[in-house]
């Protein structure tokens, strides 16, 4: 029965966060609550991913921390902006699939293109199960 229990030992996060050079770093609870209360994206067809990103960046760009990049802040705060289907998608997609290998190794243009593709409704990463069914 233990094999049916989820294990975090082999799980990998879907967001690879850059290291932070600052000695102390904390995103205040008030900022996290603001994101959760105002810019939640659920992944429903009526949700606008572009508006979500615009609103998310508007809030997350309101504060800066010495020796902490904007990307480090955005990548740590972004999961709090998701709920429902979007949150499930983020937590279930492996980092290497989500980033097309590794988002950090892509140029800004290629990274933007990847995010655009992922945000569109036509992006459906193929799982091994789907590939096996098609070849059967």
Task: Reply yes or no on whether the pLDDT at 94 is more than 90.
Answer: no
Q: Which domain holds residue 66?
A: 25-92
Residue 15 counted as domain residue: no
Task: Reply yes or no on whether the pLDDT at 129 is more than 50.
Answer: no
66, 105: one domain: no
Rounded-to-integer distance, Cα 98 and Cα 87, Å? 13
55, 85: one domain: yes
pTM of the prediction?
0.61
Confidence class of residue 57 from pLDDT cuts 50, 70 and 90?
very high
86, 103: one domain: no
Residue 110: its H or E element: helix 108-119
Residue 121: its pLDDT value, please? 46
Task: Reply yes or no on whether the pLDDT at 73 is more than 80.
Answer: yes
Task: Reply yes or no on whether the pLDDT at 88 is more than 60.
Answer: yes
């Amino acid at each position: 029965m233990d094999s049916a229990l989820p294990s975090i030992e082999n799980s990998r996060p879907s967001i690879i966060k850059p290291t932070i050079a600052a000695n102390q770093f904390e995103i205040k609870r008030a900022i996290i609550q603001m994101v959760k209360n105002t810019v939640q994206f659920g992944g429903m067809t009526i949700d606008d991913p572009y508006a979500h990103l615009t609103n998310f960046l508007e809030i997350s760009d309101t504060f800066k921390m010495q020796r902490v990049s904007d990307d480090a802040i955005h990548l740590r705060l972004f999961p709090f902006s998701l709920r429902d289907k979007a949150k499930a998608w983020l937590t279930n997609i492996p980092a290497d699939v989500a980033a097309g290998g590794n988002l950090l190794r892509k140029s800004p243009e290629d990274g933007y293109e990847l995010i655009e593709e992922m945000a569109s409704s036509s992006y459906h990463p193929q799982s091994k199960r789907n590939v096996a069914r098609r070849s059967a």
